[in-house]
Each structure stands twice: as structure tokens, then as C-alpha cells.
Structure 1
Amino acid sequence: MQSIDPVGGLKHQLDTLSETSRKGFIRLTTSCQVDCLLGWLSGQTVFPRFYWQARDSRGGDYAALGAVKAFDSLTALHTDIAALSGYGGEQPDYVGGMAFDASAPGWQHFGGCHFFLPRIELRRHQEEVLFTLNLRFDDRCPDTEIAQARACLNALLEEQSLPYLSPHSYQREDSPSKSSWAAWVAKVTHPDHLCHTPKVVLSRETRLTTPETPSPWALLSRWQAGAVDCFHFGIQLTSQEAFIGCPPEQLYRREGQHLMTEALAGTTRRVHDALQDERLAAELLADTKNTLENQCVYQHILTQLEPLAHHAHLGEAHIVKLRSVQHIRRLIHAELQDGVTDQQLLETLPPTPAVGGVPRAAAMDFIRQHERHQRGWYAGVVGRISQASSDLAVAIRCAHITPGVMCLYAGAGIVAGSRPDEEWHELDAKIADIMSLLGMG
């Protein structure tokens, strides 16, 4: 952190905070000079750590450190949002995420749901970085709150350069194996199964073991440079486990009562030849199997939104081009009923048909019965929630990193017409970007 002592400036604001202002939620903010928010996060010793850049990167990027308060359920989170809103004034952002399937065994430090109100926030907008200290006095002793805030400020370290990503050797293991995958696809596409469950999204865990664990923040920095038009996130709840990703899919964005979501399903590869790439895109839009896959997603989303929204508008199908693959996407805009909360939305929308299947209950049963790897937060939810607005991504194109092990995840929507080999190659295409960064592409 290179500036005229922003930490000292916040300490001064803390010291001069009047007793009359010690109520509800308070932000103390100053400007600072940070070249790389990921480098700043990487050098800290405080946990949890969170990084976020929305798909529209013009909004800048965001880093959070430490927790004023944490929540392990949507009910607890909603109760807290409502409690602080009663004080009026500024309202906080909560960051975190949810597992794909809270009822299934998960990752060690990532439970079914975890959101937190950060102690420290850095927000970059264009050339300016704002450094914020968050305080709350509604449910705690003022002296204790100030002491804890001061301790967090005292623990902050200078910005550091990200570690160099040196080539490593990796041992790879896929779960399921290719033969098991083919057997799964055959079961899902059997006419007797399709008549009651037209789509199941099957996933694969690619487990890479290595003597040296790469820095998750350095890996994310390299990854995001080639992942335009994607969200970028990283979360570390402890020093032993990290979850990073560059997902292309938005779960939803809410501004007041206006909701924006999407159906992102149907995939083909990218090629270097521009004319052939456009030909592949046109074939994707015209392909019966991929059109059906996308249709399953948007019809289900519209049905879910019906009791929550006054009306919903479905946009035209169009192609989204990413680095290694291209997808069919349809945007959905809706005006929510008065009183609809993020808790209701998050209890209704995920897991979306793009990562689970249709109908949801039958698809989830198939996944629970057959997948032996733990999805954890893969295909779950990650992002930011506040009273005024929320921005959440579907946690795909991601990596779960623990000492000596990196797990990559990819899924494919299996519908009538799906072929095992083609779907297996689609899984490889979806992890191609990060595999190339690891020297394995």
C-alpha cells in the first residue's frame, strides 16, 4: 500500500468518532494507492479474504478482508440485513456464497452457505482506490467494536508483488473416468429416463496433485487476463483452502426490484480461423440438441420467477464467445413483486437448470446417486448482496485449491441427442484455459 498513510487516516477517523454517531452501520473511508488488489490481498495475514470483479469490468474490482460478522444461513443473513436497515443511513455489502447442494458432503471449510460483512474493503473505480473500514454498533459493545477494528488495521501489511507462477509437474486423475462417464450419459439419454427427466447436468472433477501449490491469487490474476466478459472471484476462509474462478454465467443481478438473469446453455468450441469460428456459432444456434438444452434452462427460470415477479421478458438467443468455447445465451429481465428478498431468490433460483437439470428434484437425485466427487461450491453461488442491489454469479469455470491439490470442475448438460465422447471433449474445452496456465494445455 503506497500512499500517505491511509491506515493512519482511518485510525484518526476512528479516534474522533463521536459517541452520538456510534449506531447502526458506519463506513470510514479514505483514498489509497494500490497497484494490484490481488497482490494486496495475497500479502495479508487476516482472513477471510474475498475478491470480486463483475462481468462488466467497468465497475472496477473489489477486495475484502476480515469479517465484522459472518452468517451460515440465508435466514440469518436476511435477518441481519433487515436489522441494519432499520437504522437508516448507509447499508453494508455482504460477500460470500453457497454450495451447489447444501445437503451433500462439502469441502472442509466451505459450508452450505457462508456470507460475511467485511471489516476492510478496497474498491477500485477507474484510477481511484477507496479504502474503507466497516463498523457496526447495533449488537455489540462500542469499545469492543472499536478495539477489534483497530486490531485489524494494525495487522495490515504493505502491498506485495504476486508470486511468480513457475511451471510445476502435476499428476492428473479424472472423476468419473471416461468409461463411467459414457455409462452415465447412456442412462440419462435412455428413452425411459428422458420421459421424466429431459436434462441432467453431469460434472467431472479433474484432480491435479503437485509437490508445490501455486498461489491462488497469482493464478487468478493470470487467468482473468484471458477471461474477458466473465466474472472474476476468489475466496479464502482459511489459509489452507481457496476457491477461485472466472465464470461466464450470471445467477442474477438485482437493482432495487429490477432483476436481470440469463439462460446460458449450449456449447461449442472456438477455433482461430474467424470464418470457421462464425460457422461454428451459426451451427450452435441451429443445433437441435443445444437449442433444447438452452430451452430447458430458460423455461424453468421463467416458471420459477412467475410467483415472484410482475412480468418477465425473454430476450433473443445470441452467442457469447469466450476464450475456448462459445455458448448460447438468452437474457431475462423481470420486475419483482414488492417485498421479494434475496433470500427468496436464492431459495428459488439455484441450482439453475444450467448446472443441475430439469426437473430439478429428479436431476439432483441422479447427481447424488452417481457423482462420487464432492461438488462443494462448484456450480453454487458466489458474489455480493446488499439491501439496494445484489450481483451474483454461478460458480463454474473454477478451481478449488488445497495444499498439494488443485481440483478443476466442468459440467455438461445431457439431453436427448447427447453423445458421450462429444460431451467429454466439451469438459476438456471448459477447463482448457486454466490447464494452459498450468502448462498442461
Structure 2
Amino acid sequence: MLAQTHIKQQLDALRHDRTLGFVRLRVACEVNSFLGWLNAQPLYPRIYWHARGEERPEYVALGRIHELTDPAHIARVCANTQASQVDSPRYFGGLAFDPDLPPQGNREWQGFVPCRFDGLALDPDQPPQGENPWQGFGPCRFVLPRIELVRRGECVSLCLNLWFDEHNREAELAAGHQALAALVPEAPLPPLTPQQWRRRDNPDRSEWQQLVTTVTAPDFQTHTPKVVLSRESRLEGADVNPWSLLARWAERAEQCFRFGFQFEPDHGFIACSPERLYRREGRHLFSEALAGTIRRSGDEALDARLAAELLSDSKNRLENRLVHTDILHRLAPLAHDITLTEPRILKLRLLQHLKCDIEAELHPEVCDWQLLAALHPTPAVGGAPRESALAFIRAREPYDRGWYAGACGMLSRETSECSVAIRSARIDPGAVTLFAGAGIVAGSEPAAEWAELDNKIANVLSLLG
């Protein structure tokens, strides 16, 4: 590949250079399908990130220079990205929905099981079994990649990242050559063929009804007016390539963030999420409250009536108000000139959501780790108040969300952006697990909320036969 030859020449020119710190080498190249190129490469981790909006850059990240796997260490990203180099490093990764929760296979159950939470008893004989399905993801994993492929408009660049200190120059140069030598040309993605699978929902429908009934009880509502309950739908027997599924899914998700992570060959996590956690451009911050859902019909006139119904529905307006009120409260110590728009309709292929846009100017020295700590998880995926809603989810939800509803994205000095990892799927050998959640508030009905969960997975489910 000509691009690799040119970047190797730049790499060799650094042998006698004394530059320290982060260095990015780049050359123009030609790649048509970023996901096809990504799937062909032998390097891991393999990461794909394309923020909402076709004008946004598209990224593939391969390999790693180093990574952060402790939420407490995200502050190091800020330290590394505030250096004075022309190029700043970009970290790609995510936080679990509940980074403080131990993995399911390793939880300390003493004092937690058996337990009662508003009249529902956990079964002391049924603690979570088996190995952690999120093994390799962890509570936090942000990667500084060795290789990046970047598309900005019509321009595509191949980048090699290096980080020099006083003692590692020869080792970094050798690692750079090794990574470049491993790259191969793009190839067509494997076809996505119809699958034969068996679906298992967790919680099942009866458990779901019990959970919703508990959350909507008047005594519970007095202290926790919103809990976002969720469900995993495991399709056993489905065997798919994660990047083939993401490519097809993305065709139906124009107004969404598209991203995926494959830290090792046998496990992947992909999403086409409509929800932004935040976008930071220098000191300027963009966030949003996305909560309140109704279906689309495919008929323009009926969709307009459904949108009007959503805008006027007191239950959905309450759900959205709880979200944006919490976000504004959490931003208050970090920013000024905070503005909030009136709710509007975000139209997706099969669903419509209530969405309020939030903008603010950050105080000096406010970093991404502070934004993540303040905003994640939002009431759109957890509930309100945060602490009591999370306590209920930890005690009563019968599976480990892992990175579902987590915060996934890219952090850099100039611009950082994270999406909330809803409308997502975990791909394991012989199984695909789909996730969906619904905000439960006063007036929520179990059957209607169950139907909403089905609507939220219908898009990707239709791709799997």
C-alpha cells in the first residue's frame, strides 16, 4: 500500500529526531468502506466511532499505545490532552452504565442478598451465575490507538500515533513499523444472512410487570419519581459479524451515533444511539434531554398526530422534565450561560422522542472527567433522583447492564463527544444480546412499557431474520 510506504518514510525520519511526547504521522489514502477496512485488520482493539451528523469525522482506531481502565484515572486523559503539541491524542472508549458496580461474576453479595426493596424479595438461592459476559470491557476502558483512519468530508487520512519519552524511542519506532506492516487492504464485509435463533428475555414479562408495579406505587413515587427499567433479549443461536451488523443497522439510523468496540476477537459491542451525553468544543458544551417515546407508523399524517400526542402527553413530558432538570442541576457548578430549549420531536425510523437541547459555557479548567462524573448516568437511562434509582436498579434488575446505557465516545483536547449507549447490542459466539429500556414514572403501564421495549429493538431485530 502506497500510504503505508509514505508513512514509513516519515517514521524513519524520526529516528534522529529528539521530539518527546505525542506525535501523529499522517498521509492521505483511499478507503471506501471504513467498516470493511476495519474488519480486515488483524490488530486489536478495533474501534469504530462516527458521531451523529454526516458532517462529523468518521474514525477507525486500531491497536493501543496505552489505555485507562479505572474511572478514577480519566483525569489523566485531561492531563495528556492539554499538552502543547499541535496534534493532541484522541482516546476512544467508554464507561459502563454503573462503573462502581463490581462485575456480575465477582459481586460481593454479603449484606445484599437476600434483600427486600419495597416489597420485592431477591431469591437468596439465585445469585448471578457464570462468567462475566462483559469480560474485557470492564467499568472503564479508554484507548489511545496506535493506528487511526480518519475521514473528514472527502478526505481520508491514515495516521500512526507515537509517544516518545527519554528512553523508548527505538521501541516506539519498532512498534510503529510493526503496526504498519500488519495492515492489509479493505475487503468486503461478510454478508448478513437470516439467522435461526431462540429469544430469551430477562426480565421476562411477569417479572417486568412486577417491577413496573413496584416503581409506580404511590409510596415508591414519593422518594423516586422515575426509574429506567431495562431488559436484555438474548438471541441464542445467532452468529453474526459485528461490523456487518453495524453497517446494515447504520443504514437505518441516519440521526444516530454509530460506534462499536471489539477488544478481542470473540466479543463485540455495537450501537446506533440517538442520544448525546455531551459534546464539548473548547469551552462550549452541548447536551440534551432525550426522554419520552412514541412509535412511528410510516404514514406522514398519522406520524404528525402521534408527534402531537407525544408533545401533549403529561406522562412523557414528566419523564423529559425529570431528565433536563437533573442535567441542569448537575451542570450548574461547572458552567454558566446555560440555556434550555422547549421540547421538540426527534424522528427516527420507527420511533419519535421528546428532545430538549442544552448549551452552556464551561468554567475555566473544567475537564471531560468532571463532565462524565457529573452527567453519567443521566435520568434518561437511570432515573431520578440518581442515587435512589441506581440503588433500585442494582438491587432488582436481574442482569448486568455492562456498557449498555454507558457513556461511549472520543476525548481530545479540542473536541470531545460521548453518546449514551442505548439501541445497542453485544455480540458473543453464537449469540446476540439486544438491550432496551423505558422510563417508568407515575402513570406507566407494564404492557405499554413492554411494547415500547419491543419497538426499540425492532429495527435491529428485523436485520437478523
Please tell me the TM-score bracket, short chain as reference.
over 0.9
Q: 1:133 aligns with which of 138, 156, 160?
A: 160
Q: Given that residues 247 and 395 in structure 1 are in contact (C-alpha distance below 8 angstroms), is that contact kept between their aligned partners in structure 2?
A: yes
Q: Are residues 1:10 and 2:39 paired? A: no
Residue 238 of structure 1, aligned match among 264, 267, 274: 264
Residue 261 of structure 1: aligned partner: 287
SS of the aligned residue for 1:183 comes to helix
Report SS of the residue matched to 1:9.
helix
Match in the other structure for 1:187? 214
With 219-228 and 83-92 compared, the bigger mean Cα shift is at: 83-92
1: CA distance between counterparts of 2:291 and 2:276? 12
Q: Return the match for 2:69 from 72, 75, 83.
A: 72
Q: Which amino acid aligns with 1:347?
A: A
Aligned to 2:49: 52
Gaps of 5+ in 2: 105-133
Paired AA for residue 206 in structure 1: S
Contact 1:308 1:340 in 2 (8 A): yes
CA distance in 1, matches of 2:18, 2:32: 33
- Number of aligned residue pairs: give it: 435
1:4-403, aligned counterparts within 5 Å?
Answer: 5-17=2-14, 19-83=16-80, 85-104=82-101, 105=103, 107-138=134-165, 141-210=168-237, 213-403=239-429
Local SS of the residue matching 1:57: coil
Q: Which amino acid counterpart does residue 197 of structure 1 have in structure 2?
A: T
2:434 counterpart of 1:408:
yes
**Displacement after TM superposition at 1:127 (Å):** 2.4
CA deviation after TM superposition for structure 1 residue 198, in Å: 0.2
Instruction: Output one character per residue of 1:68-120: Cα deviation in whole Å (capped at 9) or x when no partner.
Output: 11111244342254146345332111100010012332611110000011111
Distance in structure 2 (CA, Å) of the matches to 1:376 and 1:86: 32
Contact kept in structure 1, 2:408 and 2:418, CA below 8 Å: yes
Give the conservation status (yes or no) of the 8 Å contact 1:253–1:261. Answer: yes
What whole-Å deviation, never above 9, does each CA across 1:148-167 have from its counterpart, x for those lacking one?
11111111112110001111
**C-alpha spacing 1:84/1:273, structure 2 compared with 1 (3 Å):** closer
Report the AA paired with residue 55 of structure 2.
R
Q: Secondary structure at the residue paired with 2:245? A: helix
Task: Tell me how far 1:436 sits from its aligned partner.
Answer: 0.6
Q: What's the secondary structure of 2:273's corresponding residue?
A: coil
Letter in 2 for 1:392: C
How far the C-alpha of 1:275 sits from its partner, in A, is: 0.7
The amino acid that maps onto 2:2 is: D
What's the secondary structure of 2:146's corresponding residue? strand
Q: Equivalent residue of 2:358, what SS? A: strand
Q: Which stretch of the first structure deviates more once superposed, 32-41 or 76-85? A: 76-85
Distance between the aligned counterparts of 1:139 and 1:158, measured in 2? 35
- 1:62–1:83: structure 2 CA closer, same or farther, 3 Å change rule? closer
- SS of the residue corresponding to residue 20 of structure 1 reads coil
Q: Contact (CA 8 Å) 1:135, 1:149: kept in 2 or not? A: yes
Is the alpha carbon distance of 1:287 and 1:364 closer, same or farther for their aligned partners in structure 2, counting shifts above 3 Å?
same
CA distance in 1, matches of 2:393, 2:65: 36
Greater alpha carbon shift after TM alignment, 56-65 vs 414-423: 56-65
- 1:357 and 1:80 map into 2 onto residues whose CA distance is 28
Q: Please report the TM-score for the alignment, with normalisation by the length of structure 1.
A: 0.96
1:401 Cα deviation from its structure 2 partner: 0.6
Query: C-alpha displacement at 1:284, in angstroms?
Result: 0.2
Q: CA deviation at 1:392?
A: 0.7
My pick for the range that moved more, 45-54 or 105-114, is: 105-114
Aligned counterpart, 1:436: 462
2: CA distance, partners of 1:304 / 1:90: 31
- Report if the CA contact (8 A) 2:81-2:413 is conserved: no
Q: State the partner residue of 2:114.
A: none
**CA 282–21 in structure 1, closer or farther in 2 if over 3 Å, else same:** farther
SS of equivalent to 2:55: helix
Per-residue deviation, 1:343: 0.7
Please list every run of 5 or more consecutive structure 1 residues that lacks an aligned counterpart in the other structure. none
Question: Which region of structure 1 is more displaced relative to structure 2, 309-318 or 322-331?
Answer: 309-318
Determine if contact 1:84/1:138 at 8 Å carries over to the other structure. Answer: no
CA distance in structure 2 between the partners assigned to 1:36 and 1:398 by the alignment = 21
Q: What is the TM-score with the length of structure 2 in the denominator?
A: 0.91
